[in-house]
Chains A and B, each alone.
Chain A
């Protein structure tokens, strides 16, 4: 297994454009998380899935943000009508799910720059 992968690694877009990021988790993991990390800050939780079900969304996830995990495998995070404040590193993580707390494995992130 090659770990969690994210695509693209970097994205530069103009304000008002839509962008979509992809995350491929570790294949055995049924939980998938999205976090956002701005410069000088720790990652902030956005949303997470168990299999294909989106179980929690942060207040940070405005109406312009949508995430999917259609078959319980890869996930996409779309941002519509991007704003300069959306510039950040978007991190994906995956883990086993269940009664225990399992380690979250992080991907390399997608760095978004909105100009």
Chain B
């Protein structure tokens, strides 16, 4: 079975600074997709960024980028120029041949002034 591990329960970053959230996963599949989802307090989960495993190039979406290390099974999220609105729970998620998402336990990100 696939597993996703997020070892940082909480992280804090100052506004305008950069923060990196860690994620590792375990799978025997060769074709899979990885995601970072954001869940603001009392609001619904939204997709931040996705990465296809067959792509060597790291995905970027504006201030959000990933460092995908396939051999190490590592998938970290970098948030640049952090904003107050970035404060949320961030979940790393995996999907392979099955359609379901397997999530990590999440990292709570605080953004301070």
Could you tell me which A residues sit within 8 Å of B by CB distance? 3-4, 31, 33, 35, 40-45, 48, 55-56, 58, 91, 95, 97, 101, 103-109
In the complex, what's the smallest C-beta–C-beta distance from B28 to chain A, in angstroms? 18
Which of A33, A35, A45 has most B Cβ within 10 Å?
Answer: A45
Which of chain B's residues has its CB closest to A47's CB? B100
Docked-complex contact A45 and B105, CB < 8 angstroms = no
In chain B, residues 52-73, which have Cβ atoms closer than 8 Å to a Cβ of chain A?
A: 52
| A58–B26 CA distance with the chains assembled, in angstroms | 19
Q: Does B95 contact A (CB under 8 A)?
A: yes
Docked-complex contact B44 and A33, CB < 8 angstroms = no
Q: Does B25 contact A (CB under 8 A)?
A: no
Docked-complex contact A40 and B100, CB < 8 angstroms = no
Q: Given A41-B106, A44-B103 in contact, is the A106-B50 Cβ separation under 8 Å?
A: no
| A40–B108 CA distance with the chains assembled, in angstroms | 10
| A101–B43 CA distance with the chains assembled, in angstroms | 24
Complex A-B: 14 CB contacts under 8 Å = A4-B44, A42-B91, A42-B103, A42-B105, A43-B101, A43-B103, A44-B103, A56-B99, A95-B99, A101-B95, A104-B47, A105-B47, A106-B37, A107-B44
B86-103: CB near A (< 8 Å → 1, else 0) gives 000001010100111111
Q: Given A42-B91, A56-B98, A103-B50 in contact, is the A108-B43 Cβ separation under 8 Å?
A: yes
